[in-house]
């Protein structure tokens, strides 16, 4: 895998392709059943997440990474137009993402192309958030949407179960997707990681393997929640209704 760590930030005005990568190869273990075929206000979770990328006027192409192309939600999606390109993922989220990045590289994508890596379970991310992540790569080579943490954090001092003070809440944020990277940079992070692919997202991997690489923080969205448990469906349906009834 060629190194991409030495590339420069693209000057404003220089054209680069923008590629949306939708990760949909998970097992839905915490949900208890295949969740991407669940419907939110008439559309499947998967269709909403893919639609965010394929309909965005600044995204040039979309690559969908799935566990099986025979999954009913995937088959239904691929019958519709516009269709994303589709590949089979790996044994973990990180392996699926790496498969997507190597597929893009082998298909001729350039090191300075922008990849937007998005969890299919975050079906309510907005087009404005996608644009903000793209814009952030004018000044950096990686960008992640984040939200300030609302709750107080404490640490559990095992094994006796005592509580200990946690870090200051003002320093803590939760990260979301889509996460934006120059293709060469995130490929280099994976190259440095080697077989150590226990990361839960690409920003974590980049911070671990390339700690000097600046990651721009983009304002996340409260509505950009992740479908993890069955009870999240009702919350997301209510958010969709709220968003659709919002005054323009």
Question: For residues 49 and 31, what is the distance between their CA atoms, to the nearest angstrom?
Answer: 18
The pTM score is: 0.89
Q: Is CATH 3.40.640.10 what the domain over 18-158+175-244 is classified as, yes or no?
A: no
The dihedrals phi and psi of 185, each to the nearest 5 degrees, come to -70, -50
Residue-wise pLDDT for 133-168, tens only, equals 999 999 999 999 999 998 888 888 777 778 888 888
Give the separation between CA 126 and CA 56, rounded to whole angstroms. Answer: 10
Q: What stretches in the chain show pLDDT beneath 70?
A: 1-14, 28, 32-33, 81, 247-248
What 8-state DSSP symbol labels residue 33? Answer: S
Residue 236 vs residues 39, 41, 45, 47, 124: alpha-carbon distances, Å: 10, 9, 10, 15, 8
Contact yes or no for 116/21 (Cβ under 8 A): yes
The per-residue pLDDT for 7 is 43
87-124 residues labelled b (16+ CB within 10 A) or e (exposed): bebbebbbebbbbbbeebbeeebebbbbbbbbbbbbbb
The domain limits of the chain are 18-158+175-244
For residue 182, which phi and psi values (nearest 5 degrees)? -70, 135
Supply the pLDDT for residue 120: 95
- What pLDDT shows up at residue 169? 84
Please, are residues 216 and 113 in contact by the beta-carbon 8 Å criterion?
A: no
Q: What does the alpha-carbon distance between residue 109 and residue 102 come to, in Å, rounded to a whole number? A: 10
């Amino acid at each position: 895998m060629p190194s991409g760590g030495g590339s420069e930030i693209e000057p404003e005005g220089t054209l680069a392709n923008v590629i949306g990568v939708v990760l949909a190869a998970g097992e839905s273990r915490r949900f208890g059943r295949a969740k991407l075929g669940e419907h939110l206000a008439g559309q499947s979770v998967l269709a909403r997440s893919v639609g965010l990328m394929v309909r965005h006027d600044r995204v040039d192409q979309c690559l969908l990474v799935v566990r099986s192309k025979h999954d009913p939600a995937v088959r239904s999606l691929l019958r519709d137009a516009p269709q994303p390109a589709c590949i089979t993922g790996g044994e973990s989220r990180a392996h699926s993402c790496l498969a997507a990045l190597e597929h893009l590289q082998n298909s001729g994508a350039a090191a300075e192309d922008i990849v937007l890596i998005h969890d299919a379970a975050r079906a309510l991310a907005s087009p404005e958030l996608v644009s903000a992540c793209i814009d952030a790569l004018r000044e950096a080579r990686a960008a992640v949407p984040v939200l300030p943490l609302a709750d107080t954090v404490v640490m559990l001092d095992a094994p006796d179960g005592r509580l200990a003070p946690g870090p200051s809440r003002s320093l803590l944020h939760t990260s979301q997707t889509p996460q934006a990277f120059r293709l060469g940079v995130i490929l280099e992070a994976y190259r440095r990681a080697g077989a150590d692919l226990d990361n839960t997202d690409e920003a974590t991997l980049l911070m671990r393997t390339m700690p000097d690489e600046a990651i721009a923080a983009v304002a996340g969205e409260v509505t950009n929640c992740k479908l993890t448990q069955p009870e999240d469906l009702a919350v997301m349906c209510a958010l969709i209704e709220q968003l659709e009834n919002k005054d323009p």
